[in-house]
Amino acid sequence: MSEQGRIPQFRSFVDKTDYAFIERAFEKNYIAEGPHAAEFERKLLDMIGARYGCFASNGTVAIYLALRALGIKPGDEVIVQNITFIASANAVEMTGARPVFADVLSYRDLSIDLSKVRLTPGTRAMIVCPLFGTACSNIEEVRDYCAGNNIILVEDAAQALGIRNDGGHCGTFGKAGTFSFYADKTITTGEGGFVVTDDEEVYERMRYLRNQGRKKSGTFIHPEIGYNFRITDIQACLGLAQLAKIETIVREKQKIYELYRGHLGDSVEFLKLRDDFTHIPFRVVIFVRDAEKTMAYMSDRGIEPRSVFYPLHKQPCYRSLGCRDEDFRNSVECFERGICLPTWVGLQPEQIKYISDVVKEAIAAQ
């Protein structure tokens, strides 16, 4: 066990300032989705730079909502980046469409490899995912590729709030972009998601889909089939509290990244970043020769490590798709070598040094 005590992979950055914001939801005894959600939406749209936005109950539902509003239906095929959280593929399956996986560019660059994309007459959309707090390295090329092939581009930007350059914010390069406010995201509402688009027709379809087939609550006439994907003003107040301290969150996470870089130096490889985009590390990701052995060594010494995402083509629940490892070599290598280090606001410099020292010991012992 570490002298620092057990070091968890993540802790949410919530405190009494968040609690004070949440009290606002009770001032008028109205806690369902209401004025605070509207304020949270406006501030998010200002930050992201999109015209329209809709909340969803979580990040997975946000992707599903976007796909449904974009017209994805049973029988369609959707290309999905092979290294990402399974929600990207599951949301496709929820629509009745078929996810089709494509490898990433390298074990350090987790952007989709367009040369590995296989289009068919049924291909309707592509989901790409800016992961771990950096932008897709080829997002402009992806955008042009989709436009040239009449494919709908969706960005699952769950980990990319605040990631932008002069060309735009992650989540705005395609027809729709989705975000998550799960407990470990840059800002959290516990659960929650958000979809942005500049297309008014897509936005109007989302309004019906997320609110039982009507635009406003309080009526029992439902012009369309819809569902309940709303959030609450309690969640929105927590989101507003988190936005109020986002500068602190960003600064502290960037400081953690630089400390890891300084301590680990050339003993490991780091995730490839786009230096023209902002970088807010969702996790500090490193690559070593043998991630499994290194993580076991870390765990034995009181550090909770985490692997990178398990390749989608290897997921037991998608075995029926008949994918082969040889078609996803970069994804396989990424999983075999990638480790997510603890990266949360409040992690102390001495803990970061201890983690780094343990990682170096683990590498030397192999």
CATH class in words for 246-365: alpha beta
Residue 211 has pLDDT above 80, yes or no: yes
Domain boundaries, the chain: 16-243, 246-365
Q: How confident is the model at residue 216 (pLDDT cuts 50, 70, 90)?
A: confident
Residue 2 has pLDDT above 80, yes or no: no
pTM, rounded to two decimals: 0.96
Q: How confident is the model at residue 4 (pLDDT cuts 50, 70, 90)?
A: low
Among the listed residues 97, 84, 34, 90, the one whose alpha carbon sits nearest the alpha carbon of residue 58: 90
Mean pLDDT check: name the lowest of 170-179, 218-227, 282-291, 346-355: 218-227
Q: Express each pLDDT in 329-356 by its tens digit.
A: 999 999 999 999 999 999 999 999 999 9
Average pLDDT over residues 122-140: 98
Residue 3 has pLDDT above 70, yes or no: no
CB 154 within 8 A of CB 67: yes
Sheet holding 338-341, edge to edge: 269-270, 284-287, 338-341, 306-307
DSSP labels for 164-200?
EETTEETT-SSSEEEEE-BTTSSS--BS-EEEEES-H
CATH fold group of domain 16-243: Aspartate Aminotransferase; domain 2 (3.40.640)
Average pLDDT over residues 171-195: 98
Question: Considering the chain, what percentage of its residues have pLDDT values greater than 90?
Answer: 96
Q: Express each pLDDT in 66-116 by its tens digit.
A: 999 999 999 999 999 999 999 999 999 999 999 999 999 999 999 999 999
User: Residue 1 has what pLDDT?
Assistant: 45
Q: What are the φ/ψ torsions at residue 303 (nearest 5 degrees)?
A: -115, 130
Residue 123 has pLDDT above 80, yes or no: yes
Residue 142 has pLDDT above 60, yes or no: yes
